[in-house]
Amino acid sequence: MAKKNTSPIASLHISSWISTMVVMVFLMMSKHAASQSGGTNNALLRKYCRTYTTTGNGESYLRNVNIIFSSIRRQLSDPQSYYAYAQTKNSGEFVYAFALCREYLSTSQCLACFDSAVNETKSCGIADGGNIIYDYCNIRTLSSNNNQKLESLQQLLLKCGFK
């Protein structure tokens, strides 16, 4: 068998190529990790609009939704509040919603996330409910002409600590 003759230059070339690749992989990984550690990315994780439209008047429904979102925003303006719940019944149609923010957020961060989630619900139109989930907060809206559904939601929220 003949011995393989490798020159020191070829060995140096392969060694420097491997070293360069290792450094490039390390730089790509460290750049990716640094971009995640900023903590300011409030990404939309899930958006769900129910496929049913409200059975009542669309204008009345949207007016009700705006009323409850205003109420929820006022509740979240309290620095000690990280969740809020509101309901209304106008024109015979129940509309209710709740919002949750992560507890480590400042009040202004919570409100900014809530405002973003409210803006996302506008694309749902007059769907009779929806769920918008961000990294920092989420909101859920429901509409029903059935009082039993409203009472069961209230009981569920009470069990979870909502008042």
* φ, ψ for residue 99, nearest 5 deg: -135, 145
> Would 4 be classed as within a structural domain?
no
CA distance 26 to 149: 54
User: What pLDDT does 143 receive?
Assistant: 83
Asked if residue 110 lies in contact with residue 100, where contact means CB atoms within 8 angstroms, the answer is: no
Give residue 106's pLDDT band: very low, low, confident or very high (50, 70, 90): very high
Please count the structural domains in the chain: 1
Q: How far is CA 95 from CA 71, 77, 86, in A?
A: 12, 21, 8
What local confidence, expressed as pLDDT, does residue 39 receive? Answer: 52
pLDDT digits (tens, 9 = 90+) for 55-68: 666 788 888 889 99
- Within-domain flag for 107: yes
Structural domain for 73, as ranges? 45-159
| pLDDT > 90 fraction of the chain, expressed in percent and rounded | 36
Query: For 6-26, what is the mean pLDDT?
Result: 59
pTM of the model: 0.65
96 in a structural domain: yes
Is 16 contained in some domain?
Answer: no
Residue 39 lies in a domain: no
Strand order in the sheet with 129-134: 44-49, 129-134, 137-144, 93-101, 83-90
Among the residues of the chain, which ranges form H helices?
8-36, 58-76, 107-121, 147-159
Instruction: Assign residue 132 the CATH number of its domain.
Output: 3.30.430.20
pLDDT tops 80 at residue 84: yes
| Of 16 and 1, the one with more pLDDT | 16
72 in any annotated domain: yes
Mean pLDDT for the stretch of residues 22-40: 47
- 112 is a domain residue: yes
Of the candidates 119, 47, 113, 116, the one whose C-alpha atom is nearest the C-alpha of residue 83 is: 113
Does residue 50 lie within any of the structural domains? Answer: yes
Q: What is the pLDDT of residues 109-128, one digit of tens each?
A: 999 999 999 999 888 888 88
Contact in structure between 142 and 149 (CB atoms under 8 Å): yes
Query: Quick one: DSSP state of residue 52?
Result: S
pLDDT tens profile 124-148: 888 888 899 999 999 999 887 545 5
pLDDT confidence of residue 98: 92
Per-residue pLDDT, averaged over 19-29, amounts to 57
